[in-house]
Amino acid sequence: MFSVVCRPLNSLTVSGALRKATVAMAEALAKVPDVEIDPEGTFKYILVRVKVKDGDVHKDIVRGTKSAEYHNHIFEKVNPAMEALGMECKCLGGGKMEHNSQEKKLRVFGESTAFGKADHAASVEKLKTVFSDYEITWSDDKK
């Protein structure tokens, strides 16, 4: 005859470890800059949702550069960098930006053929957190 002795898992230990892991990932996500764009000129940009792998914690980030011929070139740089941090990415759309640092103006417009139009209003809100002293506008115009 066999006897099985069952002990309940200490739920405080399990939930405590899970909470620490979640907090660590949220802290890693918080270290990802909200905005990284070129300091001057007109260029393509994308709005990206960065999410903790196998988790619900996420945030949206804006990336833009003149060096990208196509929107997917930006994503091809962002995605591996985020994966290295244990994150996963999804491009929410793209467009263009006109950045005039002398006049402290940013204009968001246009769309990405590959990813569709980003939510420019959401992108502008992100930009305002970094460029609080700028005049930032957006439109659905393509030019």
Chain position carrying tokens 């997917």: 72
Domains in the chain: ranges and CATH:
35-139 (3.50.20.20)
Q: According to the model, what pLDDT value does residue 3 have?
A: 44
The whole-angstrom separation of Cα 11 and Cα 21 is: 15
Is 71 a known active-site residue? Answer: yes
State pTM to two decimals.
0.84
Q: Is 52 helix (H, G, I), strand (E, B) or coil?
A: strand
CB 1 within 8 A of CB 59: no
Per-residue pLDDT in tens (0 to 9) along the chain, 143 residues:
444 444 454 444 445 655 666 677 778 888 999 999 999 999 999 999 999 888 888 999 999 999 999 999 999 999 999 999 889 999 999 999 999 999 999 999 999 999 999 999 999 999 999 999 999 999 987 76
59 is known to lie in a ligand binding site: no
pLDDT at 127: 98
- The pLDDT assigned to 140 comes to 87
Name the token pair of 136: 């930032």
Q: Catalytic residue among 71, 73, 99, 120, which? A: 71
Query: What order of strands is seen across the sheet that includes strand 58-65?
Result: 35-37, 58-65, 41-52, 87-100, 105-109, 135-138
pLDDT at res. 34: 97
